[in-house]
């Protein structure tokens, strides 16, 4: 029970952080990516705050033998794939094009679903379709979850 | 380039960013999982086993609820102004899903989590999606 509640609460902390930071606002995201226009640097603070908090904490967490709610023998599931290949670069480059066009990345698209359903629902449905097609094109449905960051 | 001081929100964005980083940290500490949204969603769309779906759906429920905590508990409005209209939005959504599946991650998985682990792979991914994101907005706003 505590395990389930904790996952919902962590998801809510993430969603609240996205909302407070401005990431749910597509025009603000586009303003950040508009480096050659009137640039809104706010989202650099989101990335900076998030990475630094996680960087410091990660070092402390990794001293533990495994997660608090360990399931079976699974420890910390850190991605093991270290390959810098064309899949990584082409996929990420494609993602950036979609991010620039719509001003939404996967997290904010989900967290804005109930706030601006008109815009977000269609985006999210097509995003889920894209995820399914992408997974079929690459490693198929049996893709190891640990390798998917 | 000029700075858009009118829309600049350094404090709210920094605090929001720290909350996002803490959420990623807590998901790893409590459940040993990387907080990558494209990966979490991918495991719902294409499950790798029955026991692997539940936590993903619970996490998404939390993500849906989070913004309401900001509105009702912190009493702050959450602005949402679309950046695109018409057919561009669903096309963008499809490309985001396709790209993050092929590239194994998005802003959260490669950005917040991968960079914090100093993963060279994630650094390359972030460089790639930032570059094409900036190029796309440049084309849409200043060329087309």
ipTM reported for the complex, 2 dp: 0.96
**A9, A10, A78, A147: which to substitute to probe chain B, counting the most B Cβ within 10 Å?**
A10
**Can you read off the two tokens belonging to residue B6?**
């009118």
pLDDT tens per residue, range A67-126: 999 766 678 999 988 899 999 999 999 999 999 999 999 999 999 999 988 888 999 999
- Give yes or no for a contact between B38 and A106, defined as CB atoms under 8 angstroms apart: yes
Give the contacts of B46 (CB within 8 A, at least 6 positions apart): A131, A132, A135, A136, A141, A143
> Which pLDDT value is given to residue A147?
47
Looking at the domain assignment, is residue B5 inside a domain? Answer: no
The DSSP code for A23 is: T
pLDDT at A145 over 90: no
> Which pLDDT value is given to residue B53?
94
Determine the structural domain holding residue B64 and report its residue range.
Answer: 10-143
Looking at the domain assignment, is residue B83 inside a domain? Answer: yes
Share of residues in chain A with pLDDT > 70 (%): 91
pLDDT at A144 over 60: no
Give the contacts of B117 (CB within 8 A, at least 6 positions apart): A58, A78
Looking at the domain assignment, is residue B2 inside a domain? Answer: no
Residue A121 in contact with partner chain B when CB distance is under 8 A: no
The DSSP code for B143 is: I
**Can you read off the two tokens belonging to residue B104?**
């194994």
Q: Which of A51-55, A130-134, B140-144 has the lowest mean pLDDT?
A: B140-144
Q: What residues of B are in contact with residue A123 (Cβ under 8 Å)?
A: 89-90, 92-93, 96
Among the listed residues B107, B43, B99, B36, the one whose alpha carbon sits nearest the alpha carbon of residue A87: B99
Domains: count for chain B: 1
Shortest distance, CA B72 to any CA of chain A (angstroms): 11
Shortest distance, CA A70 to any CA of chain B (angstroms): 6
Output the pTM of the full model: 0.94
pLDDT at A149 over 50: no
> Which pLDDT value is given to residue A103?
96
Q: What is the mean pLDDT of each run of 10 residues along chain B (144 residues)?
A: 91 97 97 96 90 94 97 94 91 98 96 96 98 97 90
**Can you read off the two tokens belonging to residue A85?**
């290949």
> Which pLDDT value is given to residue A72?
66
Shortest distance, CA B48 to any CA of chain A (angstroms): 6
> Which pLDDT value is given to residue B60?
98
Looking at the domain assignment, is residue B1 inside a domain? Answer: no
Looking at the domain assignment, is residue B129 inside a domain? Answer: yes
């Amino acid at each position: 029970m505590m395990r389930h509640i904790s996952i919902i609460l962590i998801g809510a902390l993430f969603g609240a952080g996205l909302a407070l930071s401005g990431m749910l606002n597509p025009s603000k995201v586009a303003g950040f990516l508009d480096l050659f226009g009137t640039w809104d640097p706010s989202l650099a603070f989101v990335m900076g705050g998030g990475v630094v908090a996680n960087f410091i904490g990660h070092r402390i967490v990794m001293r533990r033998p495994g997660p608090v709610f360990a399931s079976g023998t699974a420890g910390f599931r850190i991605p093991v794939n270290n390959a810098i290949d064309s899949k990584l670069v082409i996929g990420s480059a494609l993602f950036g094009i979609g991010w620039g066009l719509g001003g939404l990345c996967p997290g904010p698209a989900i967290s804005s679903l109930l706030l601006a359903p008109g815009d977000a629902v269609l985006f999210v449905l097509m995003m889920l379709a894209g995820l399914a097609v992408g997974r079929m094109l690459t490693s198929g449905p049996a893709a190891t979850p640990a390798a998917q960051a | 380039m000029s700075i858009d001081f009118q829309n600049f929100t350094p404090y709210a964005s920094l605090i929001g960013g720290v909350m996002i980083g803490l959420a990623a940290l807590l998901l790893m500490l409590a459940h040993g999982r990387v907080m990558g949204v494209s990966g979490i969603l991918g495991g719902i769309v294409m499950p790798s086993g029955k026991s692997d779906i539940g936590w993903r759906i619970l996490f998404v429920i939390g993500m849906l609820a989070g913004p309401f905590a900001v509105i009702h508990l912190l009493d702050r409005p959450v602005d949402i102004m679309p950046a695109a209209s018409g057919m561009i939005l669903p096309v963008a959504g499809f490309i985001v899903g396709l790209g993050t599946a092929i590239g194994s991650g998005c802003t959260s998985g490669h950005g917040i989590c991968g960079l914090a682990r100093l993963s060279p792979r994630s650094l390359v991914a972030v460089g790639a999606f930032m570059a094409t994101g900036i190029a796309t907005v440049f084309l849409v706003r200043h060329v087309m």
